[in-house]
C-alpha cells in the first residue's frame, strides 16, 4: 500500500496478498496500525497530495488523479474534511511559509503534518453538521 497508494486496495486484495481471510486481515491490520486499512490508505493519499501541492506546479486535478482519486470533487471535499483546508488553500499556505527549517529532519516535519484519521471522515462530517 505504501509503494502504490494511488491504487485501489480493498481488504479482499490485501488479504489475498497476505494469504489470510479478509476479516482476519482487517482485525490484524487495525491491531498493528491503530486504524482500518481504508483510513491508513486515505492518510497516505492525503500526505502525498499535500507534498505534491507543496513541492510541484502540478494542477490540483493532476494531483488528485496521481494520488488515487477518480473525481476532483471527491478529492477536494475529502482533503478539506481531513485537513481543514482546500487543496488551493494548502498550496498557498505552504508557499507563503517558505521552505522548512534545515535543521529539522523531513520525517519529523511530515509526521507533524500527518492528518489525524482516528475517526472516519463520515463521522467527522456528521459531528460538524450536528454541532457536536
pLDDT in tens, 39-71: 999 999 999 999 999 989 999 999 999 999 999
CB-CB contact of 63 with 57 (8 Å): no
Among 57, 35, 50, which Cα is nearest to 84's? 50
Q: Please report, for the chain, the start and end positions of each structural domain, with discontinuous segments joined by +.
A: 11-130
- Compute the distance between CA of residue 58 and CA of residue 64 in angstroms, rounded to an integer: 10
pLDDT at residue 117 in the model: 67
Q: Assign domain 11-130 to its CATH architecture.
A: Orthogonal Bundle (1.10)
CA angle in degrees (0–180, nearest 5) for 49-38-107: 45
CA distances from 123 to 44, 105, 132 (A): 19, 33, 11
pLDDT of residue 121: 66
According to DSSP H, which parts of the chain are helical? Answer: 11-18, 22-33, 37-55, 60-66, 72-83, 87-97, 106-112, 121-130
**What digits encode the pLDDT tens for the residues 91-132?**
999 888 876 666 667 676 677 677 766 666 667 677 777 776
Amino acid at each position: 500500500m505504501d509503494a502504490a497508494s494511488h491504487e485501489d486496495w480493498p481488504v479482499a486484495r490485501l488479504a489475498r496478498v497476505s494469504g489470510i481471510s479478509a476479516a482476519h486481515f482487517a482485525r490484524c491490520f487495525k491491531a498493528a496500525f491503530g486504524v482500518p486499512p481504508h483510513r491508513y490508505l486515505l492518510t497516505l493519499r492525503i500526505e502525498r497530495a499535500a507534498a505534491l501541492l507543496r513541492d510541484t506546479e502540478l494542477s490540483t486535478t493532476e494531483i488528485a488523479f496521481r494520488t488515487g482519486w477518480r473525481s476532483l470533487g471527491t478529492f477536494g471535499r475529502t482533503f478539506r474534511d481531513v485537513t481543514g483546508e482546500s487543496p488551493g488553500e494548502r498550496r498557498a499556505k505552504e508557499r507563503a511559509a517558505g521552505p522548512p527549517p534545515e535543521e529539522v529532519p523531513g520525517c519529523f516535519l511530515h509526521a507533524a503534518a500527518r492528518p489525524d484519521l482516528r475517526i472516519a471522515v463520515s463521522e467527522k462530517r456528521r459531528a460538524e453538521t450536528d454541532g457536536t
